[in-house]
Every structure is written in C-alpha cells, then in structure tokens.
Amino acid sequence: MAAPRVAVVGAGLIGLSTALRIAEVNPSCCSITLLSEQFSPNTTSDVAAGMLIPHTYPGTPIHVQKQWFKETFTYLFAISNSDEASEAGIHLVSGWQIFKNPSEAEVPFWSDIVLGFRPMSAAELQKFPQHSHGQAFTTLKCDCPPYLLWLEKRLKANGVQIHTRKVTDLWELHREYDIVVNCVGIGARQLVGDQQLFPIRGQVLKVHAPWVKNFIRDGDGLTYIYPGIDSVTLGGTREKESWCLSPDPGTTKDIFDRCCSLEPSLQRAQDIRVKVGLRPSRSCVRLQREVLSQGGAKLLVVHNYGHGSGGFSVHRGTAEEAAHLVGECIAVLQGSSSKAKL
C-alpha cells in the first residue's frame, strides 16, 4: 500500500510537538501534514507562560504523569543546554512557590525531576511576609512564540507540510488522509462534541520588567510571576466554564495588584499587554485511538487533547504516546492491506 497519509489537526503546542514526534518516530513510513485554523502567535499556547510546573490530572495515574513530565523535562533540558536554546525560547529559571497554608506545602510528585528542589529557608521567606512556607527550585520555561516557531521550523525540516485550514468535522478528512491526529485543544468541544472538556479562562499580563530574574508562584495557583525572555508573565485567573476571550480591565488591575504585593518593584513595569486564553481542561488528557466509519470507509483517529493548565509540562510525553498510537494505526492499516492481498 502507499505510505499512510497522516494529518495532524491543531498548531498549538500539542499539535506541533505531536507532529514532530510522529515525524521523528516514523521517519519514512508516512507522509505528515499539519492543518490548523490558527498558528502562533494566535494559539492558546501563545498566551501561556510555558513554565514546567505540572498540573495534576485527577483522572490519570501519578506514575504516568510523572513519566510524561520526566520525558518533557529531559527533552527540553537538552535543548536549553545547546546552542539552539535562545532560538527555541527554552531557558532555565529559578524561583519560589509560596504558601499561606502549611498543609498545602506538600512535596509534589515532580520534586525530584526539577532541579534543586528544597523547602525555602526562613531568610528567603522574609521576602514574603504573608506566606509561611515555600519551596525553592529551578525549572524550565518555554517562551512562546519562539518555541512554537522553532517547532514549525523543525517540522518543515522533517518534510511535514503545513496548511492553514479550518476543519469543522474530522470526517471531512477521510478521503485525503488515512490517520488523523486530533490536537485541537479547546476546539474539541465543538469538533468532536466532547462534553467532558471545558474551558478554564485565564487572563494574564505580559510586562516589560527585565530586572525580575526569579519566578514567584503562589501555591494557590492564582498569582504568579514568570520571567521570560522578552517579557514577564503576570497572572492570573482560573474561571471555569468561561468562554470569554476579551480582556477584562477590572481583572487586569486585580492581577497587577496581586503580583505587586509579591514583587513591589513590578510597580515600575512598562508596556503592559493583556492576553486571554482558554485552558482546554479535562479530568485527564484524552489520549486514545478511535475509528470513525461511514459506509465502507474508515478513518483512524488518535486523540491528544485536554491538557488544561499542564500542557507545557507534559507535551513531549503525550506526544510520545500519541506517536506510539499512530504507529499502532499504521500497523493496523498495513495489516488490513496485507490481509486484503490474501
């Protein structure tokens, strides 16, 4: 049979990294095309700070999440240490996660994967008089757009075709493609009607404050300061079931005030830009195969969406698993084609 034709739908972090992994794992045995309505800098991923601090999915075993995080961290660590780091937008950043409530300050499952994880000293905590406990560590940050653009470049180097196209129904692809990888993020609510997927709206500020070199994250996940290459991301909000993509000025002020209370020098920040993203949230990432069929025609689908606020932390790990599932699909296709020959 001819080389299977694979389409990856979605050009955010998940779509791009999944397409890349498929290309790396199945170098010559399939053709890969990336289709998306939006590209960087207009994806949800572009709004995120890209910090490697995992979100815990209630519906996924911890050891699986840990494996995904470890693969992602190892992959990015190697890039950060190479001369491609600045182009890829990957860099190390150290900082603190602080808690008002001691019971929240448990050691997380990922503490031995990030670098130098330890409780904060009393002297360090003096900077945060309203917080009683904290954790200090060094992790990685993926700045977007640079990381997404770098992934696109790698895709082209691997012979992946990239087209702008809005897909309204996966079945519409069944004639041109044999396997479709669904990485549409929050779009899956509409595209495949997944009611378990819901947005958690996040508003952030991106500001110019280049003297801020350390991250600060309140353990409640609502207030954070993440220094990137060209801007510092200040956050944020977690509004369940809100689909509103317009920035709210009252929220902007609230975020700014909360961040300034943790880092007063931010009052001198310049060039404040406001962004909104809808985290594609789900109790677990939908990483599974599906077969769509109508009449005698079939379309093999691999779903890889629903990463919520943890996309960056596990993207390479879920891309690896999705690529593996694509490999299974290819085997199925080759198996059925050889059966057809008998």
Q: Is 258 annotated as a binding residue?
A: no
Whether cis (ω within 30° of 0) applies to the bond prior to 58 is no
Q: Is 167 annotated as a binding residue?
A: yes
Smaller CB distance to another protein: residue 60 or 67?
67
Smaller CB distance to another protein: residue 91 or 100?
91
Of 325, 246, 230, nearest in space to 285 by CA = 325
Smaller CB distance to another protein: residue 118 or 273?
118
Min dist. Cβ of residue 121 to another protein (A): 6
Min dist. Cβ of residue 63 to another protein (A): 20
Cα of 333 vs its chain's centroid, Å: 30
Smaller CB distance to another protein: residue 104 or 112?
112
Identify the helix (H) or strand (E) that includes residue 304. strand 297-305
Min dist. Cβ of residue 251 to another protein (A): 22
DSSP letter string, 219-260: TTSS-EEEE-SS-EEEE---EET----S--HHHHHHHHHHHH
Tokens 């996040």 belong to: 202
Tokens for 25?
Answer: 């794992």
Min dist. Cβ of residue 115 to another protein (A): 5
How far apart CA 306 and CA 285 sit, in angstroms, is 5
Helices (H), the chain: 13-25, 44-47, 62-80, 85-88, 122-125, 146-157, 188-191, 249-262, 311-341
Smaller CB distance to another protein: residue 89 or 277?
89
CA dist list (Å): 252 to 51, 159, 199: 21, 42, 19
Min dist. Cβ of residue 23 to another protein (A): 25
CA dist list (Å): 98 to 86, 262, 278: 29, 10, 25
Helices (H), 175-229: 188-191
Where does this chain bind another protein (CB under 8 A)?
Answer: 80-87, 89, 91-95, 115-116, 118, 120-121, 123-124, 126-127, 136, 138, 143, 210-214, 227, 229-230, 264-265, 267-268
CA dist list (Å): 17 to 12, 242, 265: 8, 27, 36
Min dist. Cβ of residue 273 to another protein (A): 17
Smaller CB distance to another protein: residue 91 or 289?
91
Min dist. Cβ of residue 206 to another protein (A): 14
Q: Is 252 annotated as a binding residue?
A: no
Smaller CB distance to another protein: residue 183 or 234?
234
Q: Is 6 annotated as a binding residue?
A: no
How far apart CA 183 and CA 286 sit, in angstroms, is 10
Q: Is 224 annotated as a binding residue?
A: yes
Name the amino acid, one letter, at 52. L
User: Which residues belong to the annotated binding site for D-dopa?
Assistant: 224, 279
Q: List the binding residues for FAD.
A: 44-45, 167
Detail the residues annotated as belonging to a binding site. Answer: 44-45, 167, 224, 279
